[in-house]
């Protein structure tokens, strides 16, 4: 079995990763805020996604802040996609990048908090099948 240290990571992807990491971290924070506000609304007995009547100010404020946090998270994930990332899991912050390797294409995998891109999987595999670079077989030999 042939193993390689890593598939080629395009230089432009390495250059974009710090920006992507910042955006993904901010998106996760926005999502966490929206989740916190949802829990606070539930404490008030509010479980519907929309208000039906004029709510008290503390409830209206939480609805507005939750809507803003959700919109911010969505915009940040969209910006990551514009930078070439495929957002695979918005709760975990898992992002894939398709790249050529050997005779085929693979997905390079990165999760928020990881210092660099160090995992990969085949295009037809889920994120859970990701492998560390040290265990890579060239796609044309798999």
DSSP label at residue 1: -
For 67, list phi and psi in degrees, rounded to 5.
-60, -45
CA geometry: angle at 77 spanning 71 and 82, to 5°?
Answer: 120
pLDDT at 49: 67
User: How far apart, in Å, are the Cα atoms of 9 and each of 4, 67, 86, 123?
Assistant: 13, 37, 15, 16
The answer, as to whether pTM is greater than 0.85, is no
For every one of its 142 residues, what pLDDT tens digit does the chain have, with 9 covering 90 and above?
334 445 667 788 888 999 999 999 999 999 999 999 999 999 988 877 677 678 889 999 999 999 999 999 999 999 999 999 999 999 999 999 998 887 888 899 999 999 888 898 889 988 888 888 765 454 443 3
């Amino acid at each position: 079995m042939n193993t390689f240290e890593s598939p080629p990571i395009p230089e432009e992807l390495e250059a974009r990763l710090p920006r992507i990491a910042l955006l993904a971290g901010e998106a996760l924070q926005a999502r966490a805020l929206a989740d916190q506000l949802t829990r606070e609304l539930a404490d008030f007995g509010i479980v519907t996604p929309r208000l039906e009547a004029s709510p008290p100010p503390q409830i209206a404020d939480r609805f507005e802040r939750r809507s803003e946090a959700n919109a911010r998270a969505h915009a940040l994930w969209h910006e990551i996609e514009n930078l070439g990332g495929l957002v695979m899991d918005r709760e975990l912050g898992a992002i894939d990048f398709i790249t050529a390797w050997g005779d085929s294409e693979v997905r390079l995998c990165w999760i928020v908090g990881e210092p660099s891109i160090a995992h990969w999987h085949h295009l037809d595999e889920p994120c859970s099948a990701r492998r560390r670079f040290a265990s890579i077989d060239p796609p044309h030999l798999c």
